Amino acid sequence: MSKDVVQAMDLLEAEKGISREVIKEAIEAALVHAYKKNYENAQNVEVLFNIETGDIKVFSVKEVVETNYDPTIEISLEEAHQIHQAYEIGDTIKIEVTPQDFGRIATQTAKHVVMQKLREAEREIIYNEFIDYEDEILTGVVERTDARFVYVNIGKVEAVMPVREQIPGEEFDFNDRIKVYVVSVDKTTKGPQVIVSRAHVNFLKRLFEQEVPEIYDGIVEIRALAREAGDRSKVAVYSRDEQIDPVGTCVGQRGSRVQLIVDELHGENMDIVKYDEDPAVFIKNAMSPAHVLDVVFLDENVCIVVVPDDQLSLAIGKRGQNARLAAKLTGYKIDIKSESEFDPDDYIQATEDELEPNDEELDLIEDSEENLNAEEIEPSLEEIEQVESTHYSDELMEEWDVDEQNVTPEQAEQEIAEVEDDGEQDYEELLDEFQTEQTE
């Protein structure tokens, strides 16, 4: 039996990638659980598994005490000295209690615990491996399909592709090899669950990176993507090198590069347009294959695209698809007008109407003017005192020091009286000016 365990460990390490140390810990934990269940009085045991020979030994761990109250976890000092005279109070002793046969129940319990530990370790390994493939393309084999999922074998795990991630109308047979985009890798109680997709917009992006080396190297960038899976897609590309045409690079010689992508997507139409920092130019490019005469911006994210009369249906597209994809690609809300039905004066007049105050705003203005009544024009007591104090503070801040001015007290009194008379006259003039300004 011991040799069988060691051989099984080697096999699991080779096939599952689970280290022998992990298996050893799982076996030891399983045997401890089985021993405690089979021998109810065992409370503190250890199992040592020799990873080289496969030998298994069970030990009861007891603490040396003066008086033994619980023989399952304690041993008296006197009993400890019978084993060895060096033991002291507080030491721990391991006494081998390996049974000849754990029994059927103990064996089954150990088996279940070991299998659980192995499953957990295997799930962790698979999760750590596939989490690195998130947001990448993998090639898998279709195993089966049902009403909800397509099940794809991508190696050590069976990935699932929900209906929402499938290209409409695309069907698969058993053992078909397909490319899928890894949307997410999640931990579940049943192991890692890998969600894959062929309808995701990033699936198209990764396909371009695989088929166009300039995109993979970063010379050409995909700046925006808009996709209706299985029908039509728009891709906006930009070149960091002025000598390289981004659209021609993606299309390839005689369309060889883009045709590989179209074939992988079973005939999905592809519009590759040039990205431009100027929104008007970018919108014109995004409306391809329609020719755009003018782009009129109404708001920050709203515009009108003017096209020739004979290209109105082409600009809108089948069921509005071309306009819808162009709006997704550029981030603008696009209204398409033919050249004959577009009148710039309509939008200029609409702008002027927005600037003119409406009836409600006019009423508010009139009410504000009426509120400027006589009571508000009359200065308040506080305002009068402020004017009065300001006048006198300016005139009388200079001290009438008789000694410094070289005048007699009688002369000083006369000058002060004259200033006060002038102050009363100035105050009356200031009050008249204040009322006149308020009235105006």
Region 378-388: what's the mean pLDDT?
A: 52
Q: Which fold has domain 203-275?
A: GMP Synthetase; Chain A, domain 3 (3.30.300)
* pLDDT single digits (tens) 50-106: 777 777 788 888 888 888 777 778 888 888 888 888 888 888 888 887 777 765 666
Among candidates 211, 150, 139, which has minimal Cα distance to 177? Answer: 139
Domain 203-275 and domain 281-353 have a common topology: yes
**How far out from the chain centre does Cα 96 lie?**
57
Please tell me the distance from the alpha carbon of residue 151 to that of residue 186, in angstroms, as a whole number.
16
Rg (alpha carbons) of the chain, rounded to whole number: 46
Amino acid at 57: K
- Region 19-29 average pLDDT: 80
For 278-320, what is each residue's pLDDT tens digit? 999 999 999 999 999 999 998 889 999 999 999 999 999 999 9
Report the amino acid identity of residue 246.
P
- Copy the structure tokens of residue 354: 């927005």
Q: How confident is the model at residue 397 (pLDDT cuts 50, 70, 90)?
A: very low
Residue 182 — pLDDT band, cuts 50, 70, 90?
very high
Domain 2-128: top CATH class = alpha beta
Q: Chain-wide mean pLDDT for the chain?
A: 80
Beta strands 333-338 and 302-307: pairing type? parallel
pLDDT tens-digit readout, 242-261: 999 999 999 999 899 999 99
Across the range 14-18, mean pLDDT stands at: 74
Q: What is the pTM of this model?
A: 0.62
- In this prediction, residue 406 carries a pLDDT of 53
Please give the residue that has the higher pLDDT: either 353 or 215: 215
Domain ranges of the chain: 2-128, 134-197, 203-275, 281-353
Measure Cα distances from 49 to 37, 101, 369 in Å.
Answer: 19, 16, 98
The confidence score (pLDDT) of residue 434 equals 54
Q: Averaged over 386-391, what is the pLDDT? A: 47
Q: Stretch 36-61: mean pLDDT, rounded?
A: 77
Per-residue pLDDT band for 408 (boundaries 50, 70, 90) equals low
Of 421, 415, 422, nearest to 398 by C-alpha is 415
**Which residue shows structure tokens 């009571």?**
375
Superfamily name with CATH number, domain 134-197: Nucleic acid-binding proteins (2.40.50.140)
| Whole-number pLDDT of residue 302 | 93
Tokens matching residue 406: 């070289």
Strands (E), 268-373: 269-274, 294-299, 302-307, 333-338
Q: Beta strand pairing status for 232-239 and 220-228?
A: antiparallel
Q: In whole angstroms, give the CA distance from residue 292 to residue 284.
A: 6
pLDDT of residue 80: 84
pLDDT tens digits along 135-145: 999 999 999 99
Of 73-77, 111-115, 123-127, 330-334, minimum mean pLDDT range: 111-115
CA distance 303 to 365: 34
Which option is the CATH number for 281-353: 3.40.630.40, 3.40.50.720, 3.30.300.20, 3.40.190.10? Answer: 3.30.300.20
Q: Which of 174-183, 187-196, 398-407 has the lowest mean pLDDT?
A: 398-407
Query: For 188-219, how does the pLDDT look when each residue is reduced to its tens digit (9 = 90+)?
Result: 877 889 999 999 999 999 999 999 999 999 99
Position 105 scores a pLDDT of 61
> What average pLDDT score do residues 362-366 get?
53
